[in-house]
Structure 1
Amino acid sequence: MKDSQILSFAKDTIKNEAAAIAQLENFLTQDFPKAVNCIYHSKGRVVITGIGKSAIIAQKIVATLNSTGTPAIFMHAADAIHGDLGNIQKDDVVICISKSGNTPEIKVLVPLIKNFNNKLIGLTGNKDSFLGQQADFVLNAYIEQEACPNNLAPTTSTTAQLVIGDALAVSLLHLKGFSSKDFAKYHPGGALGKKLYLRVADITAQNNLPQVAPNSKISDVIVEISEKMLGATAVIEKGDILGIITDGDIRRMLQKSQDINQLTARDIMGEAPKTIDNQALALEAKNMLEHFGISQLIATEKGSYKGIVHLHNLIKEGII
């Protein structure tokens, strides 16, 4: 098979799914805000159930809701009718996902959920189905055709379900006033979490504290920069920050001066160095380094010198 044919299949799939997703907004009714408010005002969790590929989508929606502050659990529809109905608590809201809305498991499960008096949200591609008729609120995920050429394998339909799930999660996020600080609580690991909670102080606490006096010899400055391994040193006098000397300053000095023995730190330091509060987010340090096109920032706290944060620190932490 030619590469051009494979590319054609891929493009057709993307076009099919994109067109279906674009149509979803036309299927939104007042049931959508009612469903969102039902979840928002509920004192319980969101229990999401489905079978087959819909069950996989259910698990993803559960993960999205949990990560944005709405407690949710997954319950497989087949397992539910064999004991897992015990997962559903009094104040829980149940979302049942099914493309057809008429599968045998759904027809058995839905009446049982209704008997518990829990609110039921049906996410289905057939609003006139058994699920659509029994649900308190119906979220219409109708598609004309699967991307599968045989119109059988769940492709476009599961994408539509996923998008409706995202719309639910984002709507709830807005209602809750869920902020980046809240997001950080649920994502403490990895680079994403670090961008939301890692502070400059967490970095400077691990670094050396390079500093020299303004009258220090250049040889002493070079040793300080080399030993502290941050590519720079602060110039400090009586606790005040007078300037900064970087390894770039050293190189430029060597190019210009033949006799470095007569020079002191004050002669080559950069005055008014860029500083950042030690309690600022490391992400803010990244933004400042990029904005000014520099590699180091001096960290301060209430005017006191706390250290240097280097570009390499941020790379190591995954901020960059």
Structure 2
Amino acid sequence: MAALPDSMTAIVIRAPGGPEMLVPESRPLPQPGDGELLVKVQAAGVNRPDIMQRRGQYPPPPGAPADIPGLEVAGTVVGLGAGASRFAPGEAVCALLPGGGYAEYAKVHESNALPIPKGFTMREAAAVPETYFTIWPSIMERGQLSVGDTILIHGGASGIGTSAIQLAKVAGARVIVTAGTPEKCDTCRKLGADVAINYKTQDFVEIVKAETGGLGANVILDMIGGDYVNRNYEAAAVEARIVQIAVQHGARAEVDIRRLMMKRLWHTGSTLRPQSVAFKARIATTLHEKIWPLFEARRIAPVIGSTYPLARAVDAHERMDAGDHIGRIVLTVADD
């Protein structure tokens, strides 16, 4: 392989604030540590935690780059740390990172990397890790989604939502989603949602009850929080599982605990980024076994709403801030 440069271009957060705080900067090439890979990045996913980090609301975990966002990449292995043996230089991988993905090169522990699904472009592969490492444990493990269950997915047209719809349908569930425009609702239905609710003009609690004969949803995947918490409790079935993965409407809510008690609800949640390398390695193994065959058969695939060159990371963040995107936003560092 060609000799590696000493430095690279990365998009860094100059100071907490708006998208304009993202600026290109020359940085030393990352050096892979024990068990780590150095990846020449071809595409990187844009995620809401990147937005929060840019605003100064989500500090990276220890050991992650302090000012370079980016939680997932796809590219080619170009270097190996001591003891790394799962991949050889030249192999194409996608990977979940604790940070540092908005750059020409990134390092990652080999156990948190996976081969590119056969038939996937680098852009598609870059849109996989953060989303599926989140929704698999949320829906299938904590949510215990089963054949015949009804699942309510908030933010159905988001990157998480569009993937969760597809996974839930493959799992044999009935899918109800909320989204904010007729166009987004149409997208959700095309992906397999049985019912799409425009939350700006319709009451999702009433519709979920009507669509389930008054029983409610067995699983609720919520990234909203705030005033949605009590409404989720109303829309939930007896012994439903409510999985909280974000709190876009705020982290605090005044909750009627009686409804949780009377329905025997399970309200759980998690965040992915602070989890250990070992935790993420376990999820990677499960995804490779359960999800990769579905990718390679094209039964499910990430929805790419828009792409931007790495140098236009500001535009990508402005698009996400506006909230009008559908599916994933991806940065390209090199052509597929």
Give the TM-score normalised by structure 2: 0.31
Asked which structure has the greater RCO (Cα within 8 Å, sep 6+), the reply is: 2
From the two aligned structures, give the one with the greater helix fraction: 1
Give the TM-score normalised by structure 1: 0.32
Give the greater-gyration-radius structure (CA): 1
